[in-house]
Chains A and B, each alone.
Chain A
Amino acid sequence: MTEAKRTGLFDLHQELGARMVPFAGYDMPVQYPLGVLGEHRHTRAKAGLFDVSHMGQVLLRPVSGNVEQAARALETLVPADLIGLQPGRQRYGVFTGDTGGILDDLMIANRGDHLFAVVNAACKDADIVHLGRLSDHCSVEEVTDRALLALQGPAAAAVLSALVPAMRDMRFMDVDICDSDWGPLWVSRSGYTGEDGFEISVENARAEEFARALLAHDDVEPIGLGARDSLRLEAGLCLYGSDLDDTTSPVEGNLAWSIQKVRRKGGAREGGFPGADRIVEELARGPARLRVGLLPEGRAPMRAGTPLFGEQEDTDPMGQITSGGFGPSVDRPIAMGYVKTAHAALGTPLWAELRGRRLPVTVAELPFRPATYKR
């Protein structure tokens, strides 16, 4: 086994009393002394600080100097309208494979003369190799000298703007480079909790100092991967590797919204990405299965892998849960998973098999808790 990698905040996590676990090749904090429930609730009530430095930060610089060249090139790997992505704006997308499955999901920002992408930790090495296909059009540079922090929750904007006044006018999915006492910060008003908040890339050398400045505020607590998972599940957001994988198309994954019209059938730049045949067809005709929200009846959490049945007596499952657990802010078990499209309508009663028993579960709207983004 190779030694787990450490982020620039490893010492701080230890000092804060984090319990560290291996995650995507890194030693990461799963929880701090506040505990998963407390951290979850604190993020929804005030502000939580997350170390997401394990994620990949990638710069795509166009050979010509014109960002449209990089956007056009990336459109060959990502079914999204990237040429139409305005400077200072960010958008969600997925890398698709030749059979239409998802290789990773990512955020893509237009920073005027280049693109900046944030990809999942577990996929980043493969993503960078994959992006190498674009080398005739843009250089691909993994950023290894910067940490990535997320500050999430209703108090995030007040906390951050006191320290970094330059971010004051940003709205949801804006990106900017803000001067600060900790050097230039690459800020986006986004996150993965359903809360208003920010993701902030900061030089490794200044990261701990910056994190301490944020944590010095009474409203800010450090938050581990445990609460990050329950927050994103309540927000109806996918975890790559659990809810999405290389067999799942973005249409099945209920991510069709991330494929703008211009890339669909009849659009000006229809198709032209890996797996387009399957995906364009599914967009037009509907997929065979769909990711849906699920509300288990009763108090027992239903976790990933739980099989789903259309009828209580059915012998063969027609779907399964891919993420599930307890939602602290909705105070009940919640889950999401894949079901055959015929069973995907809101309110459809289904059955889940838990410890040998069939228990009722209902198809429900996502997110479980409305997002509070500042649009």
Chain B
Amino acid sequence: MKYTEDHEWLRDEDGLIVVGITEHAATQLGDVVFVELPEEGTEVAKDDEIVVIESVKAASDILAPLDGEIVEVNEALADNPGLVNEDALGEAWFFKIKPSDLSPMEDYMDEAAYREFIG
């Protein structure tokens, strides 16, 4: 598992990268009431804003962590946005990306570094 400074987690699943947000981020957001996902098949560039998360408090974006193609999105989140608070690291993954450039992965944090990052 790798982590970004935007509190996303990235898990390699047979060459696809599964992306979600961390429990820390979910706690900070508060109760999530709406998630807007990108369309499957969308080509994205790193740092594109591709997911909108609305909590009871505010709207925030999830950025594409890599260049690539969105090959699958988690439709369950549209019906049950609260999954993000219940199981941020598991059931509440947002999308799977087929990366065209994996080099940013080297800059992302491992778990120990992320823990230090959030203090």
Contact = CB atoms under 8 A, between A and B. Distances in A.
Interface of A: 30-31, 35-38, 226, 230, 299-301, 303, 325-326, 328, 333, 355
A36 B82 CA distance: 12
Nearest to A40: B56
Contacts of B16: none
Contact of B31 (A36, A299, A303, A355): A36
Interface string B41-60: 00000000000101011110
12 contacts: A30-B57, A35-B85, A36-B31, A226-B30, A230-B56, A300-B34, A300-B52, A301-B59, A326-B33, A326-B54, A326-B56, A355-B52
Given A35-B30, A36-B30, A36-B31, A303 B56 contact: no
Contact of B56 (A299, A300, A325, A355): A325
Given A326-B54, A355-B52, A303 B30 contact: no
Contacts of A355: 52
Interface in B53-100: 54, 56-59, 78, 82, 85
B36 interface: yes
Given A36-B57, A37-B82, A325-B56, 17 more contacts: A30-B57, A31-B30, A35-B85, A36-B31, A36-B56, A37-B56, A226-B30, A226-B57, A299-B33, A299-B78, A301-B33, A301-B54, A303-B58, A326-B33, A326-B34, A326-B54, A355-B52
Closest 5 CB pairs of A and B: A326-B33, A36-B56, A37-B31, A301-B54, A35-B31
A157 B52 CA distance: 41
Nearest to A300: B34
A36 B85 CA distance: 12
Contacts of B78: 299
Interface string B11-39: 00000000000000000001101101000
Contacts of A299: 33-34, 78
Contacts of A325: 56
A130 B59 CA distance: 37
Interface of B: 30-31, 33-34, 36, 52, 54, 56-59, 78, 82, 85
Contacts of A301: 33-34, 54, 59
Contacts, number: 39
Nearest to B36: A300
A226 B33 CA distance: 14
Contacts of B58: 303
B16 to A, nearest CB: 27
Nearest to A35: B31
Contacts of A230: 56
A64 to B, nearest CB: 49
Contacts of B54: 300-301, 326
Contacts of B57: 30, 36, 226
Contacts of B30: 31, 35-36, 226
A291 to B, nearest CB: 22
Nearest to B58: A303
Contacts of A226: 30, 56-57
Contacts of A37: 31, 33, 56, 82
A230 B78 CA distance: 21
Nearest to A19: B30
Nearest to B79: A299
A301 B53 CA distance: 10
A225 B100 CA distance: 45
Contacts of B56: 36-37, 226, 230, 325-326, 328
A344 B48 CA distance: 38
A263 B84 CA distance: 53
B30 to A, nearest CB: 6
A325 B30 CA distance: 13
A326 B54 CA distance: 9
B37 to A, nearest CB: 12
Contacts of B85: 35
Nearest to B61: A355
Contacts of B52: 300, 355
Contacts of A35: 30-31, 85
Contacts of A300: 34, 36, 52, 54
Contacts of B34: 299-301, 326, 333
Q: Which of A226, A230, A299 has the most chain B CB atoms inside 10 A of its CB?
A: A299
Residue with the highest number of chain A CB atoms closer than 10 Å, among B31, B33, B58: B33
Contacts of B59: 301, 303
Nearest to A332: B33
